[in-house]
Amino acid sequence: MSNLLTIKDLHASVEEKNIIKGLNLEVKPGEVHAIMGPNGAGKSTMGYVLSGRDGYSVESGSVTLDGEDLLDMETEERARAGLFLAFQYPVEIPGVSNLEFLKAAVDAQREARGEEAVTSAEFLKEAKAACKQVNLPVSFLKRGVNEGFSGGEKKRNELMQMLLLKPKLCILDETDSGLDIDALQVVAEGVNSQRSADRSFIVVTHYQRLLDYIKPDFVHVLSDGKIVKSGDASLAHELEAQGYAWLQTEPAEDELEG
């Protein structure tokens, strides 16, 4: 099976500071990869670089999504190609209703893919179902995007967007941060319900806790801008027990890369 995502020797910087330093990763359709690592390892940066946030510049390396050169695309083109980033801190857009925002996003994506537009009635039906699935009252569709939402509501709102946009690759950026255990379960169930043979996930997290609910196929440890260790789900438990301190005392990076 060919890769959905292939990252080869990626180097990227923010404000002229190198953050990603030789990242390699391969994700096949349907796989769930967890990226763990200490603060400042470049976990969030990785998500921003892949989704094409301005100010995050790629110095070298290549990234393909479904065989297409991802780095050659504009931010919105990457989204339309099926890349979705669930934000750690979703921003508010006052006065723009969730429904209006989501409809515009879905319309833009469908149009780019040459698909027919969904009618407002159809879309409303889908959106209501998505609300229900992530345990948000339907009234949230009428509220401004993230306007006055609690931390947990914002995360569930991100998930709702994911349900409606049906991406191929979802990057969840510390989706567990600021969530209590109940909210975490709702989010995890939502993610699990979306797991399928043609949808892959990159779950970025600092803690192993989230991975009790979203079982990853692979766990990678990101440190100082590159993956220093990879393994299966058990690696997460190991990290939980040992912390990340051992990374600082490990021998030179190239030896670990193996």
- Residues of the shown chain interacting with other proteins in the complex, contacts defined by CB under 8 A: 15, 51-55, 74-76, 79-80, 84-85, 87, 90-96, 100-102, 104-106, 108-109, 112, 144-145, 161, 165
Distance, in Å, from the CA atom of 99 to the CA atom of 11, rounded to the nearest integer, reads: 38
Phi/psi of residue 158, nearest 5 degrees: -60, -45
Could you tell me the CA-to-CA distances from 42 to 13, 19, 119, 241 in Å, in that order? 10, 6, 41, 22
| 105/124 with CB nearer other proteins | 105
Closest separation in Å from C-beta 163 to other proteins? 13
Closest separation in Å from C-beta 146 to other proteins? 9
| 97/230 with CB nearer other proteins | 97
DSSP 8-state code for residue 196: B
| 116/255 with CB nearer other proteins | 116
Phi/psi of residue 84, nearest 5 degrees: -125, 130
Closest separation in Å from C-beta 25 to other proteins? 20
Whose tokens are 């080869």? That residue is 8
Distance, in Å, from the CA atom of 34 to the CA atom of 21, rounded to the nearest integer, reads: 19
Closest separation in Å from C-beta 239 to other proteins? 29
Distance, in Å, from the CA atom of 180 to the CA atom of 156, rounded to the nearest integer, reads: 12
Closest separation in Å from C-beta 232 to other proteins? 30
| 93/228 with CB nearer other proteins | 93
| 148/243 with CB nearer other proteins | 148
| 74/116 with CB nearer other proteins | 74
Closest separation in Å from C-beta 212 to other proteins? 28
**What is the H or E stretch that residue 165 is in?**
helix 151-165
Closest separation in Å from C-beta 116 to other proteins? 16
Distance, in Å, from the CA atom of 133 to the CA atom of 122, rounded to the nearest integer, reads: 17
Smallest CA-to-CA distance from 229 within 194, 195, 255, 192 is with: 255
Which residues make Cβ contacts (< 8 Å) with residue 57, sequence separation at least 6?
Answer: 12, 13, 14
Which residues, listed in sequence order, are joined to residue 21 by a DSSP beta bridge? 11
Could you tell me the CA-to-CA distances from 88 to 48, 78, 152, 159 in Å, in that order? 11, 19, 11, 12
| 16/255 with CB nearer other proteins | 16
